[in-house]
Amino acid sequence: MDVIGQGVKEGILLILSLDPELIQVTLLSLQVSLSALLVSGLLGIPAGTFLALKDFAGRKLILNIIYTLMGLPPVLAGLIVFLVLSNRGPLGEWQLLFTPSAMVIAQVLLGFPLVAGLSARAVMSQRQEAYDTAVMLGATRTIAILSIIREARMGIIAALTTALGRLIAEVGAVMMVGGNIQGKTRVLTTSIVLETRMGHDSRALGIGIILLILAFIIMLLILKLEKRSFKDDSTIQII
Amino acid sequence: MTVLFKLSNITKSYGERQVLNAKALEIRAGNIHCLLGPNGSGKTTLLRIMSLLTPNDGGHLEVLGEAVNWQPSQLLRLRRQMAMVTQSSFMFEGSVYYNVAYGLRARKTPKKEIQQRVQESLELLGMSDFIDAPARYLSGGETQKVAIARALAVRPRVLFLDEPTSNIDPSSSLEIEQYIKHINQEYTTTIVLITHNFFQARRLAQHTSLLWEGHIIEEGPTRDMFHNPQDPRTRRFLKGEY
């Protein structure tokens, strides 16, 4: 219990100290995870929508692969990106290994299947009536599809929050392709690992608390966005 | 009177089961034309083909003077002259205003005109007070009135009504029937009405086609069909035996 109490205290002190190194690590964590989320969203939402709405040979197989990749172990994602970006790998000449870009690529590998798979489920849960109503009111096919995405937005926002939760807390992939280099690729999660290995349990816990606060603030912002777009949605009344 | 829909030998099957085999049907401008028949007789399939939501397997289909080729540009052009209200109308997430304005926004109508048309349509249906209400929180009768206002806002030449009153109480049902008549008379909108309720067909439609197991078995002025049915199955249907 002492370690936990000490950790909380350390966390508060760390925040108050405005330690420049910690600020840099926190900003890099945010930059990597939010960039990966942005790319995962930009690729995953259209891909999920396409898979949900377009019937073609192999669609079910692709969906199954995406659902499987939703559980891709971060270390494995890291290893794949490591092999591709290492000097012997096909993209070795890009010299991206041990840079924040490599960390973003590895995290996209983790975030994309989550966003695509959950977006596909959200769009698939929409009824045929939504599309029929839109086209019978004179919408073009594109507008009708956008209307379906709009109807599915609660599920899509859930997909993005789930992905963000996974990305910001992820350590295996960023450690493997980033290398946890001080001032270059060190992020909050890899800092926790490092501090724990060095026996600084309280400091590690303190950084963990900062990570949690960060995740809490981002989720709060997303939920606020969600609420704004669902003015007429209330919770289910259970009596 | 102009013929708006001309169908010949229209067929539709789902797997092995043929659900529609309509030899000939013409729907003329300005009428309320009822597609009457028991459940499973192919009424909705026929309506979905006429409204270009479901392609037919065989036969010839002419809609608003054009042979249908199912090309997206043609579908858009033709559908923009139609509107539809189904038995449990789908409402988009958002306000009544958002829903009624939907078709006008799709047509890129200027904002001021959208506001005016939405207001007018809701007023006609007695739903002005609900303009800011969330559309998914309305009662069944209110939803149907908003759906009719939404259809009306785009000033369609043809309005398809698929069992528009089957999920609502009798008094709201009669009220909606009054609006249907009014829309037909005031706006000269052609209405294609699906119902299994022959009293409703008699109250509203000038013309009726009776469907039976995917076939149109009798067709003509509604009054004649009720007073002097030709097909024995029509007589049985009118006696309520189905």
Q: Is residue A112 part of a domain?
A: yes
Q: Is residue A175 part of a domain?
A: yes
State pLDDT tens for residues B183-207: 999 998 999 999 988 899 999 999 9
Q: Is residue A55 part of a domain?
A: yes
Q: Is residue B131 part of a domain?
A: yes
The CA distance from A136 to the nearest CA of chain B, in Å, is 6
Of B82, B135, B137, the CB nearest to A136: B82
Q: Is B3 helix (H, G, I), strand (E, B) or coil?
A: strand
Domain, as residue range, for A194: 2-226
Residue in A with minimal Cα distance to B159: A136
Domain, as residue range, for B142: 89-155
Residue in B with minimal Cα distance to A153: B93
Q: Is residue B124 part of a domain?
A: yes
The pLDDT, as a whole number, for residue A136 is 96
Q: Is residue B43 part of a domain?
A: no
Q: Is residue A79 part of a domain?
A: yes
Domain count across chain A: 1
Q: Is residue B130 part of a domain?
A: yes
CB–CB contact A136 B51 (8 Å): yes
State pLDDT tens for residues A52-61: 999 999 999 9
Q: Is residue B136 part of a domain?
A: yes
Of A130, A141, A143, the CB nearest to B90: A130
Rounded mean pLDDT of A156-178? 94
Rounded mean pLDDT of A148-165? 93
Confidence of residue A1 (pLDDT cuts 50, 70, 90): low
Cα–Cα dist A79/B123, whole Å: 64
Contacts of A133 in chain B (CB under 8 A): 84, 89-90, 92
Structure tokens that stand for A217 in this block:
């603030």
Residue in B with minimal Cα distance to A133: B90
Q: Is residue A238 part of a domain?
A: no
Q: Is residue B198 part of a domain?
A: no
Contacts with A, B 34-73, CB within 8 Å: 51, 53, 72
- C-beta of residue A85 within 8 angstroms of C-beta of residue A91: yes
Nearest partner of B121 among B77, B179, B164, judged by Cα: B179
Whether residue A230 is predicted with pLDDT greater than 60 in this model: the reply is no
State pLDDT tens for residues B215-226: 999 999 999 998
CB–CB contact A138 B93 (8 Å): no
State pLDDT tens for residues B34-66: 999 988 899 999 999 999 999 999 999 999 999
Q: Is residue B94 part of a domain?
A: yes
Q: Is residue A237 part of a domain?
A: no
CB–CB contact B90 A129 (8 Å): yes
Structure tokens that stand for B70 in this block:
């199912």
**Percent of chain A scoring above 90 in pLDDT:** 75
DSSP A236: P
* A226 and B CB contact within 8 Å: no
- C-beta of residue A148 within 8 angstroms of C-beta of residue A123: yes
Q: Is residue B21 part of a domain?
A: no
The pLDDT, as a whole number, for residue A226 is 72
State pLDDT tens for residues B118-156: 999 999 999 999 999 999 999 999 999 999 999 999 999
State pLDDT tens for residues A103-114: 999 999 999 999
Mutate to test the interface with B, among A126, A128, A132, A136 (most CBs of B within 10 A): A136
* B114 and A CB contact within 8 Å: no
Q: Is residue A9 part of a domain?
A: yes
Question: How many CB pairs lie under 8 A apart between chains A and B?
Answer: 60
State pLDDT tens for residues B88-103: 899 999 999 999 999 9
Cα–Cα dist A181/A183, whole Å: 6
Q: Is residue A222 part of a domain?
A: yes
DSSP secondary structure, A171-219, as one string = -HHHHHHHTT-TTTT--HHHHHHHHHHTT-HHHHHHHHHHHHHHHHHHH
Nearest partner of A216 among A144, A168, A154, judged by Cα: A168
Domain count across chain B: 1
Vertex A59 angle, CA A85 and B71, to 5° = 120
Is the Cα torsion angle B204, B205, B206, B212 positive or negative in sign?
Answer: negative
CA A119 to chain centre: 13
CATH number of the domain bearing residue A94: 1.10.3720.10
CB–CB contact A133 B90 (8 Å): yes
pTM (predicted TM-score): 0.84
